[in-house]
Amino acid sequence: MDRRSFIRMLSYGLVGSAFTARRLGAAEQEGKARPIQFVFAQMRYRGGDWNPHPLAITPLMEELMLRTSVEAATARQEMELKNPNLFSHPFLYIAGKYDFDPFSQEEIEVLRRFLSYGGFLLADDALGQPGYGFDKSFRQQMKRVFPEKEFTRLPSGHAALRSYYLMRRVGGTRMVRPYIEGITLGNATPVIYCQNDLGGAWERDQLGNWVNSCSPGGEEQRRDAFHLGINLILYAMTENYKEDLIHVPFIRRRLSR
């Protein structure tokens, strides 16, 4: 798309926005009855600590609904790998601090099938000690799931970092790694792993206070954690949508500013 087309398209978009404002009432009316489109499923496993931040998900879901068109269940769905309803929730979150028991062979096969056919797994290390605790166990288990695959650092242009926000940084309660890693199968990255304790940054108590502080970036780092959470959910639901040709020139233009 050339410059002229871009300007014209932008102007169309503005026209669309103006019209949208007039229709706001109708949209709000529709919004009331919106059924849930997204359920945040969290994996419950044996051993270790599968639930380091019990209050982390609701703030993320609220943020998701506030910022995007996704209607989500505010409460998470706890899910074991053997749960027959596992495949009703293509987005799966695994978090932890410590070593956990190895998955059974059946669980490994279920997880492989889940990830190979369109499921998505977000892994979050709450301990933040590379090579220890959750990090060690999780990497071992993923090696069993995909023996031929390695975790690789996702490039800054990866669709997961552009699915909603144009992310230049990743967040979390600490900055163990300034990037996220993933296992890529074909054109998709069904496993994304963050070691910066995203859940800790999302967690808020029932009075609305943040449970954990974020360092060294403070609230900006927390905001990056929410942005990353939203991006990863949208990436799971839209795959490489933001790598479609129609998006590329816009994104490139905005990132160059």
Partner 1 sequence: MKDLFFIGTIPWWAIVLIALGALSALALQFFSLKPRLSGTRSALLILLRGMVFALLIFLLLSPALLERKTTKLRRPLALLLDTSQSMGFAANSDSTQGGAKPRSRLDLAKEKLLSGKEPLIQQLGREYDLRIYQFGNGLAPVGADTLPQLSAQGRGTRLLEALGEASGQIGDRGALLVFSDGIANSDIKSAEDLPSFPVPIFPVGLGETQGFIDIRVADLKVPEFAFRGREIKIDFALEAFGLAGRAVPIYLNRGQNLLSSRNISIDKDTFTQRVTFSYTPKEIGSHSFTLTVPLQPGEQISQNNQQQFKIEVQRDKIRILTLSGAPSWNYRFLRMALKQDPSVDLVSFVFLRTPTDSVDVPDNQLSLIPFPIDELFLEEIKNFDVIFMDDFSYRSYFNTLYLEKVRDFVRDGGGLAMLGGARSFDSGGYGESPLREVVPVEMNGRGTYQTGASLRATLTPPGKAHPITRLLPDPRANEEAWKTMPYLTTLNQVVRGKGETLLMAAPEGASGGTPLLTVGRYGKGRTLALMTNDLWRWNFVAVGGRESPQNHLKLIRQSVRWLAQEPSFEQVQIQPVGDSNAPGEKMDFKVRVLKDDFTPAEHARVRLRIVGPEGEPMNLEALAATEPGDYRTEFIPTREGSYRLEAEAQLSGKPLGKDRRSFRVAFPYGELEDGRPRPELLKAIAEKSQGQFIPASEWNEKSLERISAKLEAQSPSQIVEQRQIQLWSNLWFFSLILALLCIEWWLRRKWGLV
**Contact residues for partner 1 (CB under 8 A)?**
5, 8-10, 12-17, 19-21, 23-24, 26-28, 30-31, 33-38, 66-71, 84, 86-88, 90, 113-114, 117-119, 162-166, 187, 223, 227, 234, 236-239, 241-242, 244, 246-247, 250-251, 254, 257
CB of 32 to partner 1, least distance (A): 10
Distances (CA, A) of 8 to 41, 212, 251: 42, 46, 17
The 3-class secondary structure across 139-163, one letter per residue, is: HHHHHHHCCCCCCEECCCCCHHHCC
CA–CA dist 217, 246 (Å, integer): 34
CB of 24 to partner 1, least distance (A): 5
126/160 with CB nearer partner 1: 160
Q: What one-letter code names the amino acid at 126?
A: A
136/249 with CB nearer partner 1: 249
| Contact of 152 with 179, CB cutoff 8 Å | no
The 3-class secondary structure across 62-108, one letter per residue, is: HHHHHHCCCCECCCCEEECCCCCCHHHCCEEEEEECCCCCCCCHHHH
191/234 with CB nearer partner 1: 234
24/207 with CB nearer partner 1: 24
CB of 21 to partner 1, least distance (A): 7
| Contact of 196 with 225, CB cutoff 8 Å | yes
CB of 190 to partner 1, least distance (A): 11
Tokens 């059974």 sit at which residue? 104
142/236 with CB nearer partner 1: 236
CB of 223 to partner 1, least distance (A): 7
